[in-house]
Structure 1
Amino acid sequence: MTAGTAFDIIVIGAGIAGASVAAELSPEAKVLLLEMESQPGYHTTGRSAAVYTPIYGPQPIRALTRASRAFFFDPPDGFADHPLLSKRGGMFVANADQMAALEAAYAEMGAEGELEWLDPAGVRSHQPLLREDYVAGGFLDPGCFDIDVHALHQGYLSRFKAAGGRIATRAEVTAMTRDNDIWRITSVEGVFEAPIIVNAAGAWADHIGRLAGAEEIGLIPKRRTALIVDAPEGLALDDCPLVVGIEEDFYLKPDAGRLLLSPANEDPEVPCDVQPDEMDIAICIDRIEKAFDLQIRRIENRWAGLRSFVADKCPVAGYSEQTEGFYWLAGQGGYGIQSAPALSRFAASQIVGSDIPQDVLTEGLDPATLAPGRLKGIT
């Protein structure tokens, strides 16, 4: 093995999870980032309409999101040439049959954020497109921000390369063996060695785990479809929040002068270059037209992405209990962008055996809630 193919750590997958942890590791280690596609972030990261909202998601996600706040508002010098966040606001809405669910969510989320309860008129003052005969109530989350996903991802990749990290694209992993405490990875782009592997392969993470002989974590990629349509003339989009149905059956968000719509579906898929399903599109249009005063006759763009979950919908971050030198960093679901700054620092500390960042622990993260071993018997 030549010096050019031997590394301290190999990270598999160059989406936001792999790029961020590689950037955190590269100042202290020789790191290779392997990506099977022609460009990093081709799949889930590149198709995300992410927002930053610290009140949403399972408890470990909320803790990681809070711990990521300082990075988003004050990233390192030179990380990006403009702010990573822009003010959006989020609003959860319900019809008459969903008010009990709305009240329960308000009580739970309000314990961690400053929410504003809204009557139907208040809801429609924030989003006048909502139908008067649909909406029965809602609440506003003023702490919701749009994330510039591209700037965040590219910022991490730039930091990684500036620290001497190497990226190999079109480098699908085809085999993995371990001998004398060294992993030997065979890829389309060559053979590479390192004592530590970080599995940040997104929807393909269980496949990489099987190649390594690691435990199954029960990862299920789930398809989510999104559409872009024109906004009605005269609508002040800059003042409109993200609107989410309380049962997560739709969302609508202003996006670059248009409207981004989704049925918020979670349909199991095999790992693939997923495409939008025509039934998803029809369901999306039906749900949006029932809730909003919109008639969708033309779709500007449509796409789908994979959001991968394990049974408890919390990330998996920790060393395998079955395979030496194999670190899981998977299962971020739809929360991987907003939690990346803290999760990458947490993972990097575990990978190199240093102290977990105190600010992450202070926000209430229990490392056991992310450990692969927690999934025994429930995968």
Structure 2
Amino acid sequence: MKCDFLIIGGGIAGASAAARLSELGHVVLLEMEEALGYHASGRSAAMFEENYGSPAVVALNKASAEYHHSANGGYLTPRGLMLISGPDQEAQFRDDLKELGLAEISSAEAQALVPILNPKTVTLAGLHQAAQDLDTDRMVQDFAKVARSNGGQVITRAKVTAIHHDAKGWQVEAGGETYAAKQLVNAAGAWVDEIAALAGVAPIGIQPKRRSMARLPAPGGHDVTKWPMLMGVGESWYAKPDAGKLLVSPADADLVAPHDAYADDMVLAEGLARYEEMVTTPVTRVESNWAGLRSFSPDGALVLGPDPDQPDFIWCAAQGGYGFQTAPAASRLLADILGGHSSELDADSRAALSPERLR
């Protein structure tokens, strides 16, 4: 099978790239699992917070905002983000408050919004009402729908086993089939360096880091629907309402090898303990738990664009937990680069995202 762009990886990075690149040529997307968004993209906290991330990430967030608000009826619903702290963490609280662009509120105002907060331990709070939930599954499926509508193909259960490059382009063996492409897009998440090795391309030093999550019953029988997402200072834990339950994460970032991730019981218990310190309702039952891998480059920014040593090998990698909120602008940047179009991103942001910075 021949195509212009062969994309490896069917998470939000690969699906959004497929949609944008299908405007430029014939796209084929290969996903090794049975469905799109199986790994990190299917285990996201699903939030859009414009001020969350490094300067280059924030630039992508802001450039993605209009898409999130309006495309296909919009993907956002109100949530809000609340930072909470005790008096012994005030210096870190002030730093986080400034970095995230939150407005300080009183502990009484915080308790009015989230009645389980412990007034003895929560003495400082900040709030950003504009943080919103993202409909992540619909976003992945809608990007894939765009790719298909433009003649692209999305193929699951297609694990890549061999990659060869010659004067004619790329030949990739996956799922018992051989695919030929002019340009190869590496959107394989935690596996991007493994794909690069198969292709004979120098790795970028990807760092897959585990992020664990527990689902709890609604604390004390409260209606959590309108509660904001809660975050401990230094992102030491967070909690987010979800379908009438509460998701709590230790915000772990343990470096691991690429694999189908699962939660570490001890790490999860430590995170739940940090959460319990700030609330009045103890954790009595965990309904389920899971983990995903957030993949980072050495400097923490996304890697988007042609490899400087192999220009028809395209990196779409290192989303690092920012994949959904940056996807509209990140995929547009990728298409602009490959299509030879100007980008709305400033030169500094483009440089901070380019693979050239890592060579």
* TM-score, with length taken from structure 2: 0.96
Match of 1:272 in 2: 259
Gaps (5+ residues) in structure 2? none
Among 285, 293, 299, the alignment partner of 1:306 is 293
Within 2, Cα distance between the matches of 1:135 and 1:232?
17
Q: CA deviation at 1:244?
A: 0.4
Q: Alpha-carbon deviations, 1:232-263, whole Å to 9, x = none?
A: 34523233100001111110111110111110
Match of 2:76 in 1: 85
Among 38, 41, 45, the alignment partner of 2:41 is 45
Structure 1 position 179 matched with structure 2 position 170: no
Within 2, Cα distance between the matches of 1:85 and 1:63?
19
Structure 1 position 100 matched with structure 2 position 91: yes
Structure 1 position 369 matched with structure 2 position 340: no
Among 116, 120, 128, the alignment partner of 1:133 is 120
Instruction: Give the length in aligned residue pairs.
Output: 359
Q: CA deviation at 1:212?
A: 1.4
Within 1, Cα distance between the matches of 2:199 and 2:338?
17
**Secondary structure of 2:190's match?**
helix
Within 2, Cα distance between the matches of 1:62 and 1:221?
21
**Contact 1:8–1:194 under 8 Å retained in 2:** yes
* TM-score, with length taken from structure 1: 0.91
- Alignment CA distance shift 1:278-1:318 (3 Å): same
Q: CA deviation at 1:67?
A: 0.7
Between the aligned residues of both structures, percent identity stands at 38
Within 2, Cα distance between the matches of 1:321 and 1:116?
43
**Secondary structure of 2:158's match?**
coil
**Contact 1:213–1:323 under 8 Å retained in 2:** no
Within 2, Cα distance between the matches of 1:371 and 1:28?
21
Within 1, Cα distance between the matches of 2:144 and 2:267?
33
1:322-333 pair list within 5 angstroms: 322-333=309-320
Q: CA deviation at 1:354?
A: 2.3
Gaps (5+ residues) in structure 1? none
Within 2, Cα distance between the matches of 1:251 and 1:347?
32
- More displaced stretch, 129-138 vs 197-206: 129-138
Match of 1:73 in 2: 69
**Contact 1:22–1:160 under 8 Å retained in 2:** yes
Q: Alpha-carbon deviations, 1:78-107, whole Å to 9, x = none?
A: x4xx64110000011111121111112223
**Contact 1:35–1:171 under 8 Å retained in 2:** yes
Within 1, Cα distance between the matches of 2:348 and 2:241?
32
Q: CA deviation at 1:28?
A: 2.7
Q: CA deviation at 1:126?
A: 2.0
Within 1, Cα distance between the matches of 2:252 and 2:309?
34
1:1-379 pair list within 5 angstroms: 5-75=1-71, 79=72, 83-110=74-101, 115-233=102-220, 235-356=222-343, 358=344, 360-361=345-346, 366-376=349-359
Within 2, Cα distance between the matches of 1:234 and 1:276?
26
